[in-house]
Homo-oligomer: A and B are copies of this chain.
Amino acid sequence: MTRILVVGGNAAGMTAASRAKRLDPSLEVTILEASSRIAYSICGLPYFLSGLVRDLSELELFTPESLMNERGIEARVQCRVVELQASQRKIVVEHVRSGQRDTLGYDKLLVATGYRPITPDVVGAHLNGVFTASRLGDADAIASWLSSKRPRRAVLVGGGYVGLEVAEAMVARGLSVTLVEAATQIFSTLDPDMAKLVEDELSLHGVQVMTNRHVRRIAAKGDGDVDAVELSTGSLRIPAELVFVDVGVVPSVELAENAGVELGPTGAIQVNDRLETNLPGVYAAGNCAETHHLVSGRPSLIPLGTVAAKQGRIAGENLAGRHSRFIGAVGTSIVKVFDIVAAKTGLNLREAERDGFSAVESKILAPARAHYFGGAPASVKVIAERDSGRLLGAQIVGSAEAAAVIDVAATALTAGMTVRDAAQLDLAYAPPAGALWNPLLVAMNTLAREL
């Protein structure tokens, strides 16, 4: 019997295990997960905090029991893999509660250890009431804090996807919210002009947005609970009974690195298009692994569940003996912030320049639907390479329906289209469903004039 071990029971690991077992039911597939839950949607955390998701179990697709019953896959939770002995095809597992260690052999192994949030290097970063989010347990901890301590004021340190969604959730819970961002803009995935639209939306809903401010320390009350966030600029002190930190993530690669798995230039695990590492029988997928970026052609870090799940699917096929290739990704993301949705695909202007492209951009403001259907205007930016006219990226901030068009840009990027060809895309129109000239096409036509 062929034995497959999967280290990590979330998007990439779960998808890989399920796919491998489905393709070859004779495989013995075991998932090893350090936390106490598998197969959960961490993306749902803000909606649990806001109260839209009533019970955390709604975010769990499987328990170890249901996974065994429905898919014949064993999942061992609270089992941390502490050592990979690749030359002997063995791992050492530590049971988190007992500290007891076991050794397990494998024929093929998938490293799907994901990422962990960066903790800021300031005094007070580990106080009671200071949270990050990467595990479903974090949602429990924040929810408990909210109900037991009844905080009135929250400070969010950093403004990425989850931070923005948590800001909305905190406002929904009645907290007064301040967002402190070290950079000159929040949401660095967008260009500054597009991120400004998101900042405006936050302000409109009462979130105080402070950019270009560094946290000096997080102060405690006498009982050790968080009391305030102190800034290095202007000696400002922002009182808060809850602090949420979202200043980025790093791939969790220690296990693999210690075993001799090669890391790439991004610091994540280097894989080929079959998602194999340099060690025989060892694969990597998800947010601990690099992703081939289809626009830059370079290895990149794209810490998103969508990419992790797709890599997991391909890894699962290869674990089952197929020869499947992961084509890569373009880094498409979307986030709802109060009444607007912000979306991005490919490279933003800063990223395009960093990657050596001579980039040109165009931004338009366009209604999403026929005027008598009252479509809200959307800002659409497209970026192309000056000489070739090749599309490099797109950003949209507007209504949910306007932002959904980002997927069209993502598809055009994947196909390597030029702006001129993309401007002729045969997109659908009916008065209730859009505009005769889709805003993305208008932006493409505008950009084509700049080339």
Residues on A lying within 8 angstroms of B by beta carbon are 11, 41, 43-44, 47, 52-53, 58, 161, 165, 294, 304-307, 309-310, 313-314, 326-327, 329-336, 341, 343, 345, 370-373, 400-401, 403-408, 410-412, 414-415, 417, 421, 424-434, 436-438, 445
Inter-chain contacts of A432 with B (CB < 8 A): 336, 341, 400
* A400 interface neighbour in B343, B408, B433, Cβ under 8 Å: B433
Copies in the complex: 2
Contact indicator A425/B411 (Cβ below 8 Å): yes
Contact indicator B433/A404 (Cβ below 8 Å): yes
Contact indicator A306/B407 (Cβ below 8 Å): no
Q: Give the residue name and chain of the B residue nearest to A55 (CB).
A: B372
Most chain B CB within 10 A, of A371, A431, A438, A445, is at: A431
Given contacts A41-B431, A407-B408, A436-B306, are A426 and B330 in contact (CB under 8 A)?
A: yes
Q: Give the residue name and chain of the B residue nearest to A433 (CB).
A: B334
Q: Give the residue name and chain of the B residue nearest to A334 (CB).
A: B428
Could you write out 25 A-B pairs with CB less than 8 Å apart? A41-B436, A43-B370, A43-B429, A43-B431, A53-B372, A305-B429, A305-B436, A309-B436, A313-B445, A333-B430, A336-B430, A341-B433, A400-B432, A401-B401, A401-B404, A403-B428, A404-B433, A407-B407, A407-B427, A408-B411, A410-B426, A410-B428, A411-B411, A411-B412, A412-B415
Q: Give the residue name and chain of the B residue nearest to A346 (CB).
A: B426
Q: Give the residue name and chain of the B residue nearest to A430 (CB).
A: B334
Contact indicator A428/B411 (Cβ below 8 Å): no
Question: A53-B372, A161-B430, A326-B424 known; 13 other A-B pairs, CB under 8 Å?
Answer: A11-B436, A52-B372, A307-B426, A327-B424, A333-B428, A334-B433, A335-B430, A336-B430, A336-B433, A400-B432, A400-B433, A405-B407, A410-B428
Contact indicator B410/A414 (Cβ below 8 Å): no
Contact indicator B332/A421 (Cβ below 8 Å): no
Given contacts A309-B436, A433-B403, are A41 and B427 in contact (CB under 8 A)?
A: no
Contact indicator B431/A372 (Cβ below 8 Å): no
Inter-chain contacts of A370 with B (CB < 8 A): 41, 43-44, 47
Inter-chain contacts of A421 with B (CB < 8 A): 327, 414
Most chain B CB within 10 A, of A58, A332, A410, A414, is at: A414
Inter-chain contacts of A426 with B (CB < 8 A): 294, 306-307, 310, 329-332, 345, 410, 414
Contact indicator A427/B306 (Cβ below 8 Å): yes
Q: With both chains docked as a complex, state the minimum distance between the C-beta of A279 and any C-beta of chain B, in angstroms.
A: 25
Inter-chain contacts of A332 with B (CB < 8 A): 426-428
Contact indicator B414/A425 (Cβ below 8 Å): yes
Inter-chain contacts of A165 with B (CB < 8 A): 430
Inter-chain contacts of A330 with B (CB < 8 A): 426
Q: Give the residue name and chain of the B residue nearest to A416 (CB).
A: B415
Most chain B CB within 10 A, of A11, A333, A336, A432, is at: A432
Q: With both chains docked as a complex, state the minimum distance between the C-beta of A314 and any C-beta of chain B, in angstroms.
A: 8
Please measure, in the bound complex, the distance between the C-alpha atom of A331 and the C-alpha atom of B429, giving whole angstroms: 11
Inter-chain contacts of A313 with B (CB < 8 A): 445
Q: Give the residue name and chain of the B residue nearest to A372 (CB).
A: B53
Most chain B CB within 10 A, of A47, A404, A407, A445, is at: A407
Q: Give the residue name and chain of the B residue nearest to A344 (CB).
A: B428
Contact indicator B333/A47 (Cβ below 8 Å): no
